[in-house]
Amino acid sequence: MLKQHRDPEEEIRTAARGNVKILVLDMVVFELERLARKASASTHAFASASLDFLEKRRIPVIEHKAGPTNVDGALIACALTEKTPTGIATV
């Protein structure tokens, strides 16, 4: 999406009609920060751009639930414990 200059928020809102709240799990931010520090140049660039995007758009970061220590498991645990219908997406 970044290379094609598409807006990720707009893409999400188009795909999921209705009241959509976009949140990011803290573990995702931690992983992006790690990649921005230690990854190869191209991965570093995408991680840094992602962190900038989250900051500029002021997308809320939520704390992960106790349990899984990997990001995918934490995303699923978060979605399953929400009271409202919740979808998850990874890019």
What is the phi-psi region of residue 40: left when phi exceeds 0, alpha when psi lies from -120 to 50, beta otherwise? beta
The pTM for the full model equals: 0.71
Q: What angle do CA 58, 86, 84 make, to 5 degrees?
A: 100
**pLDDT over 80 (residue 82):** no
5-32 pLDDT, tens digit per residue, is 778 788 877 887 778 778 888 888 988 9
Cα 81 to the center of its chain, rounded Å: 18
Report CA-CA distances (Å) from 77 to 12, 31, 48, 64: 21, 18, 26, 8
27-74 pLDDT, tens digit per residue, is 889 889 999 998 888 888 888 988 998 899 898 887 877 776 777 788
Report CA-CA distances (Å) from 62 to 2, 28, 38, 65, 87: 24, 10, 24, 9, 15
